[in-house]
Amino acid sequence: MGIGLLEGFVHALSPISLFYCFLGALLGTIVGVLPGLGPAATMAILLPMISHVPPTGSIIMLAGIYYGAMYGGSTTSILMNVPGEAASAVTCLDGFEMTKQGRAGEALAISAIGSFIAGTGGVVLLSFAGPILADFALTFGPPEYFGLVLFGLTTLLSFSGRQILKGVIAGLVGIMLACVGLDPVSGKARLVFGISEFLSGVNIIPILMGLFGLAEVLASAEEGIASIYKGKLGRFLPRGEEMRKGIMASLRGTIAGLILGLLPGMISSLVTFIVYDIEKRISKYPERFGKGVIEGVASPEAANNATAQAGFIPLIAMGIPTAPIFGILLAALMMYGLTPGPLLFTQHGEFVWTVIASMYLGNMMLLILNLPLVALWARLCLIPYRILAPLILGICFVGAYSLRNNMFDVWTSLCFGVLGLLMRKRNWPIPPLILGVILGDMFEQNLRASLQLSAGSLIIFFQRPIALTFVVLSVVSVLVSRKLWAKEAKG
């Protein structure tokens, strides 16, 4: 394996491989920064065009687009409070607050550093323990997933701050919203009331753009804000204690993201919510979360990237795509007659190790590419708001429309923008609503699938060790939340 990796580096360092790697990373960063064009769409568009490129170059480039987009995805969340994807929603909470305090540079830099740590951690894991870990991931069935989602849902207690009941209500509204459309199991229409647009359900991205981006612009317009930040910009790189805190949080986020990212069907947004909650719980100052702490950016960003990178493990080691984007990569591999799985390492060793080695290089390229841009991006917050606000609204409009090419998503975004404004004014916590929408589907599907397995008996969640562990963790999480509320009440 060591020799394979060394040989992989030799091939990955060839000018043509480096070119494809750089091109993928650059395209990915652009795609990540621009809302509306996700990495999956970019890869799907590029797939037919790159069929004449050698398989190694092609896969290196496609992988680069994916993890490059993960790097770039946080930029609009931090600078404009506009999350381009569900996983970046958590980054808005502290990232945009840091921007308001003139610390956009620090937030962007720690996000890039955290992404680098997570990306590299993921490749190391892929190189040394990929197949073993992929086997473990397959032991997860519906009861285990249900336990995990239940644990994820308990985080809404800590996202509710002092408004626990409001948080629970918002979470339930979110779960109800996730029920709109065709029932995933039976295919029957639910909460549709004869409106055909409701059949395909509500998409999370327009909701996020509304609740964060649009609501922010409307609130700022009402308050007559001149610019996101006034005054001299702070450092562009965190230093000393801040850097240490950021790196430690990134490491914690990386570990959680790598473990959870291996699970098929795992959504990185759930992972980011869980790691943010953990970070808040173990912090000495939980009351400062949501007001611009560096750990609140570093940990979810690292977890997001680690989840993305970990998805390569089941794909390469077992041929299992854990997310739609890996389905495209799988299609690309099949296009070249390469069947992922344990035999890929033995039959096409050179190819696999070159791709893995290029991921090390790609992560380094992304760090080199992103850090110098920090100073440039950070200056965006100094632009007068009367000029920036229309641009943010325009971006939200394009981002919402381009997801499914329909105006219904734009209306959804607009309605949730107004709802977000009203929620802010009436002191309703927004993250629990988002958490409910994101996890509602997964929660229902796994609950129902588990109960189908056990013929309706809840005992199934207590018979399987992993599921039981998550159920116990959920109870502990609720109990521990009481401590957190007391601390927040003091803060």
Partner 1 sequence: MAFRIEVLSLLILASLGIYDGIRMTKVPLPNPDPVGPGWYLFIVSGMLFLCVILYLFIEKSRRRLLVIAEKKIRTFSFSINTLGWMLIVLVGYTLATPRIGYIPATAFFFVLTLHILGIRSWPRSILLGLVFTVVFKLLFSDLAGVSLP
438 counts as binding partner 1 under rule CB under 8 A? no
Q: Would you say 150 or 338 has its CB closer to partner 1? A: 150
Nearer to partner 1 (CB atom), residue 191 or residue 473: 191
Minimum CB distance to partner 1 smaller for 30 or for 480:
30
Contact segment (CB under 8 A) with partner 1 among 213-221, 303-311, 326-334, 461-469 equals: 213-221
Query: How many whole angstroms separate alpha carbon 284 and alpha carbon 281?
Result: 8
Distance CA(216)–CA(209), nearest Å, equals: 10
Task: Please state the closest distance from residue 316 (CB atom) to partner 1, in A.
Answer: 29
The region of 179-187, 230-238, 279-287, 476-484 touching partner 1 under the rule CB under 8 A is 179-187
For the CB of residue 452, give the shortest distance to partner 1 in the complex, in Å. Answer: 6
Cα separation values, 283 from 160, 245, 250, Å: 17, 10, 14
Minimum CB separation of residue 65 from partner 1 in Å reads 13
When binding is defined by CB under 8 A, the residue of 3, 186, 240, 337 that contacts partner 1 is: 186
Which tokens sit at 185? 């199991």
Residue 414 touches partner 1, criterion: CB under 8 A: yes
Under 8 Å CB-to-CB from 376, ≥6 apart: which residues?
none
Task: Kindly indicate which of the ranges 17-25, 139-147, 262-270, 391-399 contains the residues binding partner 1, using the contact rule CB under 8 A.
Answer: 391-399
- Member of 52, 239, 284, 426 binding partner 1 (CB under 8 A): 426
The three-class DSSP label of residue 230 is: coil
Q: Out of 30, 129, 243, 255, which residue is the one contacting partner 1 (CB under 8 A)?
A: 30
CB closer to partner 1, 57 vs 206: 206
The C-alpha angle 192, 198, 199, rounded to 5 degrees, equals 85
201 near partner 1, judged by CB under 8 A: no
Residue 45 interacts with partner 1 (CB under 8 A)? Answer: yes
The residues with which 181 forms a beta bridge, in sequence order, are 190
Tokens of 46: 């590029």
Nearer to partner 1, 221 or 375 (CB): 221
Which of 245, 288, 291, 448 binds partner 1 (CB under 8 A)? It is 448
Angle, CA 242 vertex, CA 241 and CA 243 arms, to 5°: 90
Farthest-apart Cα atoms in the chain, separation: 64
Give the DSSP per-residue string, 304-333.
HHHHHHHTHHHHHHH---SSHHHHHHHHHH
Ordered alpha helix ranges (H), 84-103:
89-100
Q: What is the Cα Rg of the chain in Å?
A: 22
The smaller minimum CB distance to partner 1, of residues 46 and 271, is found at: 46
Residues sharing a CB contact under 8 Å with residue 108, sequence separation 6 or more, in sequence order: 74, 75, 78, 79, 370, 373, 374, 377, 378
Adjacent-strand bridge partners of 227: 384
Query: Per CB under 8 A, which region of 29-37, 87-95, 290-298, 324-332 contacts partner 1?
Result: 29-37
Q: Which residues bind partner 1 (CB under 8 A)?
A: 30-31, 34, 36-37, 45, 165-166, 168-169, 172-173, 175-176, 179, 183, 185-186, 188, 190-191, 193, 214, 217-218, 221-224, 384-387, 389-391, 393-394, 397-398, 401-402, 405, 407, 410-411, 414, 417-418, 425-426, 444, 447-448, 451-452, 455-456
